[in-house]
Structures are given as structure tokens and as C-alpha cells.
Amino acid sequence: MRRWSELTPDEQLRIREEYQRVLDREPRTCDMDEKVARFTEWLAERDIIFSADEISRKSR
């Protein structure tokens, strides 16, 4: 398994684009914990480890 942070920016983009197609067919949620849980589970099925710690938090 690879950590999300070990993927190249191009790999991350490709995966996010693929996941967006999945999201378009799933029930929507505003709950950030649910979003992270769903993404983490989806990535695990693809041998990628992801945690909420890897979410970029930009200050304003």
C-alpha cells in the first residue's frame, strides 16, 4: 500500500478525477467526517492509505 502523500501530484489529480465520477452517483453529504471516511474507504480499495491529517488546511 502507498500513502496518499507518496503519490505524485499527477497521480493525486487522476485519482481525484476518478473519485469525482463516483461522487456524482452517490448521495451528497456536507459532513466532512463522512466525506473523509468515504474517500479513505474508496482509496483503501485501491491500496492507498489516506487520513484526515493529509487534508490541506489553508489559512485565510
Question: Over the stretch 13-30, which tens digit does the pLDDT of each residue have?
Answer: 999 999 999 999 999 999
Task: Calculate mean pLDDT across residues 34-50.
Answer: 96
Residue 12 lies in a domain: yes
Nearest to 42 by CA among 56, 27, 23: 23
Report the 10 Å Cβ neighbour count for 40. Answer: 16
Q: How many domains does the chain have?
A: 1
Residue 58 lies in a domain: no
Rounded Cα distance between 46 and 15, Å, is 10
Range of the domain at 42: 2-53
Q: Please tell me the pTM assigned to this model.
A: 0.83
Q: How far is CA 47 from the centre of its chain?
A: 12
Tell me the CB-side half-sphere exposure of residue 36, using CA atoms within 13 A.
Answer: 12
Contact 8, 16 (CB under 8 A): no
- For residue 58, what pLDDT band results from cuts at 50, 70 and 90? low
